Structure 1
């Protein structure tokens, strides 16, 4: 896979929304390279099941369905997710058809899980005057030891104090590999030598996708999250990319807006989870 294709030369919202969805699809497909994962592109949807019990790693996207048969199709698509008993997300971007698909998903037991703003940044606007907080540094993950620290910090940043991490998830992250020649690149932030923050980028489909920006609670409100975004995006810009995209959580919205990201769409999420 090439890490650089024809770069979008200007931000036009219909085009960048399409590129955002494409980046997320290609990222999920990349994540589906692990053993026992299933991923396919159908005439009316795209699906991926990694088997890791995280909803964001088991998804349905780019749905284009006929309302006359949609309930049957939803039930058919859900069969492998239910068989493997993994939680999953159904992503609804602005181009999804039909536009009222949420009503049909709800009928099938797949519940609304909120809305995420899709955001875009022209990388020529990336702040050049920001510097690392005192004692803070950022490095790229280049070894298994680095990756283990990245996984541990990310798990805490997004899931709270977790006494253990699913070994299948660790295996999954290792399968994705590391290296500057790959489209998926992770970054680890250290404060006075201690790992406290993570981020990653996925390079492809004309844009830089920014993912996994997280900071440990005790290290927040120091500008670390901003630098964990700016430094990886600077890597993408150096490779010739002009545009970055992301799907923001409510907690991250103001941070991303402050470094120049602007909202370009709203993405609906629907969740299905197996019964305990």
Structure 2
């Protein structure tokens, strides 16, 4: 179910973009339920620190700051991240205030980390059929064994080394659990029985957020990326959701465009990491 109640009905870009940011905020706050995590909402920003050394899991979002005091506020907000020595990201969505926040972040020692397109799709327009992939199947993660496979495949697909996955990250994923009654649901793709692809879906802010889409290098180029992306969105559609959203990587952009996603905004990130 959606953590924030009502399912978004309209597909106008302003409303979708606002829901996309809130979906990501709700996802990060949900991830902050793990032991040792910190999360809070202030009048001018939202911050979450999981303590896992992945920048995307330690973030500042929803920024609405007064330019008169912005340098002081950035310094104050960075204190807990610097104290815990974890890499982190500031997310800048189109309605971030001030619009030139990136300028002040760079002055404060953060580095521009790139711009990603925010994309959306009306779930009624999802492909109803995809090309058949011989020996390929998709299942939802529903036990510890499948979750461990999901963690291994996802880590390798995103550039990690087999057998060298951060134990704290494994504990983090295990702590989030699994189950069809949770807003965070994971999907695992198998090719001739071997786990080769992952995706996840977070239901929040009235939309379905698509995350963690990855395929092992040796299994790419067969349409698996499209299939593992459509699977969770199809589940969301059966649950009554109307809109799917995501932040696209350069590798994933063409896959998402092929299955019907449209670019609706640009999202910047700024990085701070311990020396």
TM range (shorter): over 0.9
1:80 corresponds to which residue?
80
Instruction: For residue 71 of structure 1, report the CA deviation from its aligned partner.
Output: 0.4
Deviation at 1:4, TM superposition (A): 7.9
Alpha-carbon distance between aligned partners in 1 of 2:247 and 2:230, rounded to the nearest angstrom: 16
Partner of 1:178: 178
1:3 CA displacement: 5.5
* SS of residue matched to 1:197: strand
2:67 counterpart residue number? 67
Question: How many residues of Structure 1 are paired with residues of Structure 2 in the alignment?
Answer: 275
Please give the TM-score of this superposition, normalised by the length of structure 1: 0.98
Inter-partner Cα distance in structure 1 for 2:162 and 2:79: 31
Deviation at 1:160, TM superposition (A): 3.9
- Contact map agreement 1:59 1:89 (CA 8 A) in 2: yes
User: 1:226 is paired with a residue of what secondary structure?
Assistant: helix
Query: 1:147-162 maps to which residues of 2 (within 5 A)?
Result: 147-162=147-162
Q: Which runs of 5+ in 1 are unaligned?
A: none
SS in 1 for 2:250: coil
Give distance in 2, aligned partners of 1:204 and 1:104.
31
Pairs within 5 Å for 1:1-276: 2=2, 5-275=5-275
Q: Does the 8 Å contact 2:2/2:206 carry over to 1?
A: no
Tell me how far apart the structure 2 counterparts of residues 270 and 198 of structure 1 sit (CA, whole Å): 26
> Distance between the aligned counterparts of 2:222 and 2:21, measured in 1?
31
Unaligned runs of 5+ in 2: none
**Aligned-pair distance for 1:129?**
2.0
* Contact 1:183/1:204 (8 A) holds in 2: yes
User: Helix, strand or coil: the match of 1:251?
Assistant: helix
Question: Distance between the aligned counterparts of 2:209 and 2:256, measured in 1?
Answer: 13
